A = this chain, B = another copy of it.
Amino acid sequence: MEQIDLQQLLEQVQQGKIDVVSAISRVGGNIKDCGSARLDFDREQRCGFPEFIYGAGKSIEQLLEIIPAIIANNQPVLATRIDAEKAAAILEQHPEAEYDSRAKTIIIRKKSLPQKTGKLLILTAGTSDLGVALEAQYTAELCGVTTELVADAGVAGLHRLLTATNQLQEADVIIVVAGMEGALPSVVGGLVKCPVIAVPTSVGYGAALNGFTALLGMLTSCASGVSVVNIDNGFGAACAAIRMLGLKR
């Protein structure tokens, strides 16, 4: 469905091109009622990325209802926050699915995927931030974005970041994933011109406050123009990157 263009719709109704009932149903969009979920198949056209599955609050039964509906609609499948037990149940029904226990994601790729313009660099401060970075990477790849992942480049060993200078310069968008004090986006934001999306992670203990210290630090970054997403939200960071890379078309 296109964006709700009321004027055009009203004109079409007025001109008798479509009847009122169809018009009303179009306002409702292309929604697939799928048990307890209502899948929004217009999202890709509206927002630039398809409906993906947030697995955290969903039962195996619900997941096994939703996944075939997405496949039937000819979309790639991404389910995030899938634990090992749910993954096993999905893999049994969908042997073509791939599970990554670090990222806790299930993906089912689409054969032909139009590649998007632009390069996305994903950078992590430590080894423990890898899972969140991978969630971002899978999301971006399923939407046709070319990605590169550089791990363990935290600021306590500055030379590890400086050796990645070329990659920083060549990226169109950079996602920076960091826990603890979350200082890496400030340093990166001071080095580059392109959009920097900061993802705080829940890595650390005590005063790390399950990621809130990194979140707050990133929001108050002394490097201007860094924007931030929720803690551990690799998926959301990738969606933000896709919105930005859309400008390159």
Interface residue ranges, A against B (CB under 8 Å): 3-7, 9-11, 13-14, 16, 19-20, 23-24, 27-29, 31, 36-38, 40, 43, 46-49, 52, 54, 56-58, 62, 118, 125-128, 130, 151-152, 154-160, 162-163, 165, 169, 172-173, 180-183, 186-187, 189-197, 200, 202-233, 235-248
Min CB distance, A122 to chain B, in Å?
14
| Separation of A82 and B181 alpha carbons in the complex (Å) | 22
Min CB distance, A96 to chain B, in Å?
25
Min CB distance, A73 to chain B, in Å?
15
Closest-by-CB residue of B relative to A153 is B38
Please state if A206 and B230 are interface contacts (CB–CB under 8 Å).
yes
Please state if B223 and A191 are interface contacts (CB–CB under 8 Å).
no
Q: List 9 A-B contacts (CB under 8 A).
A: A31-B159, A36-B127, A58-B127, A206-B211, A206-B219, A207-B212, A219-B230, A226-B229, A226-B240
Please state if B206 and A215 are interface contacts (CB–CB under 8 Å).
yes
Min CB distance, A191 to chain B, in Å?
7
Please state if A240 and B195 are interface contacts (CB–CB under 8 Å).
yes
Please state if B181 and A158 are interface contacts (CB–CB under 8 Å).
no
Please state if B172 and A247 are interface contacts (CB–CB under 8 Å).
yes
Please state if A27 and B163 are interface contacts (CB–CB under 8 Å).
yes
| Separation of A46 and B196 alpha carbons in the complex (Å) | 13
Please state if B190 and A157 are interface contacts (CB–CB under 8 Å).
yes
Q: CB-CB < 8 A to A10: which residues of B?
A: 9-10, 13, 20, 23-24
Q: CB-CB < 8 A to A191: which residues of B?
A: 3-4, 46, 158
A47 interface neighbour in B24, B43, B58, B189, Cβ under 8 Å: B189
| Separation of A31 and B150 alpha carbons in the complex (Å) | 14
Min CB distance, A202 to chain B, in Å?
7
Please state if A222 and B126 are interface contacts (CB–CB under 8 Å).
yes
Q: CB-CB < 8 A to A156: which residues of B?
A: 186-187, 189-190, 221-224
Please state if B43 and A157 are interface contacts (CB–CB under 8 Å).
yes
Please state if B14 and A20 are interface contacts (CB–CB under 8 Å).
yes
Q: CB-CB < 8 A to A118: which residues of B?
A: 247
Please state if B225 and A219 are interface contacts (CB–CB under 8 Å).
no
